[in-house]
Structure formats: structure tokens, C-alpha cells
Amino acid sequence: MNVFVKKVQTDKAPKAIGPYSQATKLGDFVYLSGQVPLDPETGKLAGDSIEEQTHQVMKNIGAILEELGLRYDHIMKTTVFLKDLADFQAFNEVYAGYFDDQYPARSCIAVADIPAGAKVEIECLVIDTMVYEQQMAAQQGGCSSCGGGCDSGCGGC
């Protein structure tokens, strides 16, 4: 057992369907396992279209990030697996909506099959910069969580 590695688990994202963790964290680095479009409440695929499935994958990623107190903008790199590259444009339209102007680096490849019969799977490399963001906000007199001063009572500083 590596005492420096933290297993990340949330009930708000699908349970692992094999011998892996939803995510692991080592220092500031967080590695999210590939997320497929399973609804965490039902365990079933969320919709038939690439758009529905992409939204669910991004929600699952968001739930894991939330468990760590992180946001989508902490994602530095994604690897996207598509069952059919003909879905590339429709996938991009949904995916882009989860990020501001600064998109993570990304690879996107077509694969023969994805677990659970999904059309899309996304894995992520995330950097936890919250400590640094809070330090910078304190130095600048604002809070990265609420925008107020550190005495604003939000608990984010």
C-alpha cells in the first residue's frame, strides 16, 4: 500500500466496474479513470445519443472533481475514446460547454469497443491547485471560493 496515494471514491459517480479506482491522487496530481456514461443511480447507460452520453460522462467527471473540491478548469489533459469518429462534431459541441476558453490538452481516438456498450469514454489528468489559488487570493485580498475577503465567512480561504 502506498501511503502517499489517496483513493478517490464518490457515490455521485458510477462505481468502478473492475479492479480500479474512480480516481487516485498523489500530491497535486489527480488521475481520473475513464468515465463511461453510466447513471450512478441506475447503473445503466444514460441515453442512446452521443450528446446524452457525453453529458453523463462529463457529469460523472464533475462528481469526482467535486468530491475533491475541484472544478473542470483543473483538468489539464483528457483522453477521449469514441466508438465512432462520425460522432466527433456532436461530441465536441457538448464537451466544449463544460469548459471556459481555456480547454485542456486532449487526445481523441476511435476504438473498437467501450465498456458497457458506451459510445464515449473520457479519462483525465487533473492538477489540484486549490492551495495555491487560496494563497494567491489571500495575497490579493480576495477569496478564490467566493470572491470576498478571507473574513467573508465562506470557509474557502
108 classed as catalytic:
yes
- CA atoms of 47 and 144, how far apart (whole Å): 36
Count of other CB atoms within 10 angstroms of residue 64: 23
- CA atoms of 35 and 10, how far apart (whole Å): 13
Active-site annotation holder among 108, 146, 150, 154 = 108
Element spanning 82, H or E: strand 75-82
Lookup: cell for 30: 489527480
Q: Tell how far CA 132 is from the center of its chain.
A: 20
In the chain, the largest separation of any two C-alpha atoms, in whole Å, equals 54
Active site residues: 108
